[in-house]
Structure formats: C-alpha cells, structure tokens
A and B are shown apart, each in its own frame.
Chain A
C-alpha cells in the first residue's frame, strides 16, 4: 500500500490537519463540524458509545482512565493537534475506553458517523486524508507504547534494587534490636544477680554463724549433762563421729545394714540405717541395748545430732561457694568492666556454675599459668559459658570436656574440646553468623546469638575465635586473646 503523501505527512500531523481543515472550509461544511472548545471540557466519557469521530485541530486533549475500584480519573495519554480522538471506539463500535478532557482551549472537528459516510462518498480525497491520519495516530500511539515499556522496565529494575536494599536494612535493624534486647536482658539479669547475691549472703552468714554458736552450746550442754562418765564419753564420741560421718553410698549402706540386721535382731529399720553409719568401735555399746529400743533411740539421737550439724555446715558452705562464684562470674561487685584478670578464674567460675549440666561428664582441665590481661571478665565468662553449654547440648548426658589454656608469645590460647557428634560440615562456616541456630525452643542464651555475640566479645578483646572438628571426634573451639595490659 502506498500513500499518496510522503512519509513526512505521517509525521507532520499539522500539515494533514490543515489540509483537512481546508477541505472542510472549501466544502463549506466547516462551521457545522468545527467546534471551538474551552479547556477542561469533557468530550466523551469512558464507557460512552461514540457516534462521532473527533479530530483535534488545535489544543491539547488528555485521555483519562478510571483507576480500578475508584472514581478517580487518571491521565494516560496526551493528544495534540492532528490526533484522532476515540479511534478505537469509533472504528470498533465498542464503548470508549477513556474519558477525553481538554486541558487547553481547543478546536475540534467533530463529524458524525453519517456525515463521514456521505463525505467519504462525495470526496475521494477525504478518504485518503482520513486514512493517513488514522495511520499516523496509530503509529504515534505505538511509538509511545514502546517508550513507555522501556521506561517501565527501568523503573521496575530500580524498584527491585531498592526493595532488596530495604530488606537488608530491615534485617540489620532487627538484628540490632535483638542484640539490644539481649543486652538489656543481660543487664537486668546482672542487676538481679547482684541483688540476689547480696540478699542471700545475709541469711547464709547468719545460718553458718548461728550453727557455730549452736554447736558450741550443745557441746557445753552435753558436758554438763548429769551422766555416768563412761556413758558421757560414749555420748560425746557418738556426737563427734556424727559430725564427721559423711555418707557412704547406698550399696555399702545396704551391705552393712544386712550384716547389722543379724547382729541387732529386733531393731527397727530406721535404727539399723543409723547404726550402719556409726564406726564399728562404737557399736559394742549398742549391743547391750538390743532389747531396749527406746534407750537405743536416745543414744542414736546424739549421733544424728552430729550428722545434722554436718549437714547444715556443708550445705551452708555450698551455698556460700555458689554465691561467690555467681558474683565473680557476673562481676557485679565492681564498677569497672575492664580489669586486669587471670582468665583461669573465670573458667573455674563458669565450670562451677554450669556444674549441674556437666557434673557427670569426664572433665580434663589443663590450665597452664598465663599472664594477666586487660579484659572484661563478665563478657569472657559469657563466651566460656556459651561454648560449654553448646557442648553439653551436643553431648547429652554422657560426655567429656577437655579444657586447655596456654600462653604463647603475645597471646593466650584457650581450647575447649568436647566428645560430641561434632559440627556438621555444611554449617561449620556459618555458626558464628548472627541468627544462626540449631537449637529448639529450650534456649537460655539463645536467639541464635550465642556464638555471634561470643565472636563480638572476642573481637572486642582483639582476639579470635574459631571452631573445627577434631579428627578423633567432637568439636574444638579455640579462642586466642592478645596479651594486653
């Protein structure tokens, strides 16, 4: 198909428009079809069935489309002179897809359907002109489409990039928040520990001191008791042996009990149990009492008295020791965070406090003498705790721990090895990452932050922390700390 007019016609809508205008003028029909329109006037609405063809001769018309589910008209195409408005609707007869609104005072050629037909019949030129215009418009639209696509693409890319950046920023934020919560938690815990340690020290002290006094008084009382001298010394020795008695294990106790049951027929089970813990040299005095259980009870009570004191004393001391370790571990009794410390103390404190988890493990401790370094003891203790508890989790109820430290040139090396299943190869490079965790809900230091926080702490000290699997089985964590004063 060739066009009468050269290519330039298609691009120069102005020219075409003028020609069409001229045709109309010549045929004298212009007044009827040429309309001068103000700006902001709606030519037709979306959904209208168009019976006229519109050709914009001068001005600007913007096509609008309703945004879905709203009543807002959204501008989609800007048409200038030479444009055919409502082509699709006109040619297909379907309702208009857009709403046409003038944005400047404009001149429009509005030709009704019937007129077009008669015009086309009358004047061959008209047909050609119209064809040209339609084509120009369509190619225009097409060009616009392509450039819009390209713009869309680049916008999408930009958006995608931005979204990724946002995601990462969000992750970072979340981590920072978690860390803050964790630190907050630790801080609160630290305060509670301090308060607790302080509070419990008082009753513990009172307990131990009162027991000592009590013990003294009872000794005095026993001396003054009006008793035959040999019975007196018997009573005393029962009491003293009670204080030192300790606890034989149940198997020994059982064996001794069954021996004594034969010797002391008729004695109650509770009496036999006590007799089994009394040193054999004192038992002969009891033989004479076998037929008098009430008398036996009285003397056994002296033994029990001694035992009870031993209990109280040992329990009191244990509490005392635990509290000391707790305080030392959390270093809540000093104002300074960084001190010159011997890290071995912290390792011992940690072992004491985690003893409940590791008490049945085979533990080898080989801590060579190391120089004191400037460090944050509470923080370092967190690291030891984290590693040891991880090992305990991995090993379950049976296992072994090997803790070793040594000084090398300018740094201290601490090595903690367990005999668990080791760290799976696929995750061994990620374990120090934040939010990495294989633990389930039963976490105390959890949130998956344990090892990553440990790494941060060690980094703060200028040191390094690493993990590997030992060829003999189990995981080995190595921490190096530079010797800084």
Chain B
C-alpha cells in the first residue's frame, strides 16, 4: 500500500513559512510537504490528506495565527484518532508558559522550537520526529533509511526482524 506520509507546516507569515519549508526541503525525497497559513486551512488540508488515504507524520505549527491558535489546533489533533499519531512540534516566538504547558499536557507536544531557529537544529528535530513516526507506523521503515536516522531504523530492522532472509 503506497500511502504517502505528509509533513504539514502551519505559519501565517509567508516569509517565515517559505524559510521553514526551504530548510526542510531535503525531506521531500521521501515525504510530501504541505503548507497552511491558518488553523482553518490546516484542517481542510488534513481532511483531504486522509480522504486520499495518506497519513500525516509531522506537523510544524506556529502558535499565533488568525482565528484559532496553534496550540488549540494541536490539542484538537491529539483528540482526533486520525491525527493522534502525528508528531506535533511548535515552532513559535510567542507562546506563554500556560499555553505551552497545555500543549505538552493535552496535545502530547514532542518539541518546542523557538524562533529564530537554526537550520541544522530544525533539520535534526524533523529527522528525529519522522524517524519515530516511521518506526511506529510503517511496516517497512527501510525505505526511509537514506533520509532519516539510518542507525535507528537499521537497529529496528535488526531487532524487530521486519525484513528477513529469503
């Protein structure tokens, strides 16, 4: 079953959105990157991704958005069985302690990146989160070894015997 795994980036400032996507474009060899500038648009995209039978591996979300804010979107996603497994990361300059705590407690936030970010750090975090997703939700993670954490995936193959001699 060739389902595609998506990375969703939600950010209302276009220059910043462009910069994030540019920084993680290396992952496009194996994943599909989608962009949204409001929580509402993100919801539409999420629905169409699932309607096509694909999955969302990671969401990189800003907090300050017009309309519903990022943390609310993430909490919503956590309560929806379809998007519960998506790795959720906040990338923002503006979330207070209360909101961040809420994201951690109610949205299973995996990581918080403060703006401005360093490209290497961002790439590392994305690689890490996608590796976790893939190891848990893809039966044959081998195909992602080139772009994700090869060691972890190889170790998984070794221990879980997802690939065997034939």
Residues of A whose CB lies within 8 Å of any CB of B are: 247, 249-251, 253-254, 268-270, 273, 311, 314-315, 356, 360, 397-398, 442
Contacts and interface: CB of A to CB of B under 8 A. Distances in A.
A356 B64 contact: yes
Nearest to B45: A254
A250 B32 contact: no
Nearest to B69: A397
Contact of A270 (B15, B25, B41, B96): B25
Contacts of B28: 268-270
Q: How large is the interface on B (under 10, 10 to 19, 20 to 34, 35 or more residues)?
A: 20 to 34
B69 A249 contact: no
Given A268-B28, A269-B28, A360-B66, 9 more contacts: A247-B15, A250-B17, A250-B36, A250-B37, A270-B25, A270-B28, A273-B21, A314-B15, A442-B96
A311 to B, nearest CB: 6
Interface in B7-42: 14-15, 17-18, 21, 25, 28, 32-37, 41
A398 B35 CA distance: 24
A391 to B, nearest CB: 18
Contacts of B67: 360, 397-398
Nearest to B37: A250
A203 B33 CA distance: 34
B58 to A, nearest CB: 16
B143 interface: no
A436 B67 CA distance: 32
Given A250-B35, A250-B36, A356 B94 contact: yes
Nearest to A310: B15
B118 interface: no
Contact of B35 (A253, A270, A315, A397): A253
10 contacts: A247-B17, A249-B14, A250-B36, A250-B41, A251-B41, A269-B25, A269-B28, A315-B15, A356-B94, A398-B67
A107 B33 CA distance: 113
A249 B36 CA distance: 8
A198 B136 CA distance: 52
A268 B21 CA distance: 14
Please give me the 4 A-B residue pairs with the lowest Cβ-Cβ distance, nearest first.
Answer: A247-B14, A250-B35, A270-B25, A250-B37
Contact of A311 (B15, B33, B41, B69): B15
B98 to A, nearest CB: 7
B72 to A, nearest CB: 9
Contacts of A251: 41
Nearest to A277: B18
Given A270-B28, A360-B66, A249 B15 contact: no
Interface string B105-139: 00000000000000000000000000000000000
Nearest to A397: B69
Interface string B66-94: 11010000000000000000000000001
